[in-house]
Amino acid sequence: MTANLADMRRDYTRDGLTEAQAPAEPLALFQQWFSDARKTEQLPVEANAMTLATVDAEGRPHCRVLLLKSLDDQGFTFFTNYDSAKGEQLAARPFGAMTFFWPALERQVRIEGRVEKVSAKESDDYFQVRPLGSRLGAWASPQSQVIADRAELEALLADTERRFLDQAPTCPPHWGGYRLVPERIEFWQGRASRLHDRLNYRLDNGNWSRERLAP
């Protein structure tokens, strides 16, 4: 079983978020965004978008949306900055939980397991098929670090563009893939009257077992 999802990508050009647009109080911004989402008839969600949860050294959970970029017998692979907050959390606690939500299908899939870095070759192979802008961005952006403003990011990008004027960007050492090796996969199918179907697969001593969970 192998699925190559490297070509699944869309450019995000719809909007920005400036300091001037952002109210001082976060709940007001959440309400505004939530109301926008409700008005949007069908959110352009990509089927490979999922939420990844990790925990830090103190056991506090953190989650964020990422794109699944490949899936095979070894596990579920995504790509990111190894020096990001999630990278630090995975170095301290190499476990993760992914949730996929496919609203039109009324389905959810939850996957849990150990997370490991993919080989440098796998990261490099995927890096090379990314659009040039994304490759430059991986060099330019110190993901999860505090920056002064949008101008600082754009200056970092301009420096990177100058650096790679005459040569194709190689895969940065701080960027690459992680593979979540599943130990539990739960499939949830919405059913009438909240009596949903939940089938849970667990890996015990190398063998998957299946059980039904109450909704």
Q: Which residues bind ligand FMN (CB under 6 A)?
A: 49, 62, 64-67, 78-81, 84-86, 143-144
194 is catalytic: yes
CB 184, CB 203: distance < 8 Å: yes
195 annotated as ligand-binding: yes
Q: Please identify, using beta-carbon distances, which residue of 78 and 100 lies nearer to ligand FMN.
A: 78
The whole-angstrom separation of Cα 49 and Cα 146 is 25
Say if residue 62 carries a ligand binding annotation.
no
Residue 74: which of 186, 172, 178, 202 has the closest Cα? 178
Largest CA distance in the chain: 62
Query: Read out DSSP for 171-187?
Result: PPTTEEEEEEEEEEEEE
Choose, from 14, 60, 194, 212, the residue flagged as catalytic: 194
Q: Flag whether 165 is marked binding.
A: no
CB of 18 to ligand FMN, least distance (A): 18
Lookup: tokens for 40: 């949007």
Residue closer to ligand FMN by CB (options 69, 110) is 69
Residue positions annotated with a catalytic role: 194
Which residues carry a binding-site annotation for substrate? 9-12, 69, 126, 130, 134, 194-196
Which residues carry a binding-site annotation for FMN? 64-69, 79-80, 86, 108, 143-144, 188, 198
